[in-house]
Amino acid sequence: MLQQPIAGRYELLEELNSGGMGDVWRGYDAVLDRPVAVKVVRHQAVAGSPQLAEEFAKRFKREARITARIQHPGVPQVYDAVLDDTDTTYERLFLVMELVDGMPLSAYIHPANPLPVSWAVAVAAQVATVLSYAHDVPVSHRDLKPSNILVARDGTVKVLDFGIAAILRTDVTKLTATGSLIGTYQYMAPEQVRGGRTSPQTDLYALGCVLHELLSGRTLFTADSEYLVMYQHVNAAPTPLRALRPDVPTALEELVLHLLRKAAEARPADVQEVYERLRPFLPPPGERPAPGEAGPAGAPDPTALFRRPYAPRARADAARPTPTTVDPAAVPPAAVPVPDQLREEIAEAYAHSDALLDEERFTQAAEVLGGIIDPAARALGPENGKVLELRTQRAAIRLLGGDYRAALPEFDALADAYARTGGPGSRQARACRAQAARCRGELGQVTEALATLRNVLDVVRAVDGDVSEEAVELRRDIGMLLLAQGRATEARLVLAPLHDDLCLVYGPQDEMSEEVAEALTLIELDLDGPAA
């Protein structure tokens, strides 16, 4: 890991994968408080003469610009391109991009479990759509393969590494002085193997290889060496899909064979033609998946994009699992002493998280606590007091950082856990229910938020009265939510007596007293407006 942040803002946290031209890291943008992906171009790639290094730096700039021009949700966004030009070797080249939460397509390919036809076709159709936008720039990918195709949690397919294709463009100045070929041998079109000029039809051949593999569960050609595989790409006929899997529709088999023709000009005219020939095998809007169409267990559903086009994102409560992944039944509920080492690690996590909070690095502060929560839950039990405190602090940080969608299910789960361990009316259970309600208010779920806040207030009034710190905060939140909804009369009925109580107990100069007074002034102006 680099000791200094890149460009004073991007930190490298964890290596995600390594390739021939560079490494990809999970990073953190300290200015915008968000996770990023950082591609670090390897020094070996630019080793050589100063002239070659200068040409590589120019090519790197072109990479960023070309990738940024592909405006499609299936291509990760480019945020920044950084060149460290302190010397002429350009050792430090970084591409900062959107971090995609998903799995590579290669993770779902298995010879014993062929993917459903609709699942495979939906992936290919999404890739075709991305390629159509790229070819219009124009730029060809030249290294399309399952490991460069990511399936995000919502089923969206992301095509990675267009930038590498741009930086290695062979029609500018040849960089591969060693004679190494550009691409991955299992998916190389014959013209790539021969070292000839590539084109959009080169990507179509690779798409045919990928679709064949998705439907058959194995790569198109196999041999004892990569050279024999490349020889087969040039000379051997591909095995028709129906010979490997009879349930593949004939027209789909014909499309794959068309994509895999040896001569580039003999393949489909363009990727738009490919998409039109895939359309008959895509699920129509509104159709539910049939039995056997779901894909691998736990895998995202790439067909959802076609079944429910332009659908809203899933509701927050349904979109996220319970924050703690430990099965409660697997850990005994009895109190467990905290081992000394774990106690030290928890203290260090709190200290590190607090330091990040001081710098308003909310995303990282929450991640630091997340790193200790699961180990602590396994050692102590998921509803141990120390574990619940860690989870509560993480949820509070997410709320403070404005990530209400992530904080909401966590506060809901914590409220239930505190209700089980301390009773439904316990202070911690009340506080988490109120925080969940505040998240709902921010997410526009105002009716439910108001109902929850009022229920919690009833409990607090019965226990601590009407002017406790907890009670006045709840009364303030209820009034402000009503005001935000335009229910000014109801808001005044809540906030006016609250202001009287605040002035009596805390004084008119108190911060909350002044806040409520300002809200009441706005209410009066609004109510008096029509009569003026």
Q: In the annotation, is 143 catalytic?
A: yes
Choose the catalytic residue: 23, 33, 101, 143. Answer: 143
Helix (H) or strand (E) holding 58: helix 50-69
The closest of 347, 337, 433, 424 to 385, measured between CA atoms, is: 337
For residue 493, give the amino acid letter: L
Pair 436, 420: CB distance under 8 Å: no
Buried b (16+ CB within 10 A) or exposed e, 68-101: bbbeebbbbbbbbbbeeeeeebbebbbbbbebbe
CA 258, CA 106: separation in Å to the nearest integer?
23
Quote the CA–CA distance of 386 and 373 in Å, as a whole number: 9
Name the nearest CA neighbour of 141 among 301, 268, 271. 271
Residue 304 near residue 155, CB atoms below 8 Å: yes
Q: Are 305 and 155 in contact (CB under 8 A)?
A: yes
Helix H or strand E encompassing 26: strand 22-29
Q: If we measure between CA atoms, which residue out of 178, 166, 157 comes closest to residue 47?
A: 178
What's phi and psi for 423, nearest 5 deg? Answer: 100, 150
Structure tokens at 213: 């593999």
Q: What angle do CA 458, 463, 469 make, to 5 degrees?
A: 80
Report the C-alpha dihedral over residues 422, 427, 429, 435, rounded to 10 degrees: -160
- Give the separation between CA 309 and CA 98, rounded to whole angstroms: 23
Q: How many CB atoms lie within 10 A of CB 323?
A: 21
Tell the residue number behind the tokens 């009596």, with chain if given. Answer: 504
Which residues are paired to 98 by β-bridges? none
Q: Supply the residues annotated as catalytic.
A: 143
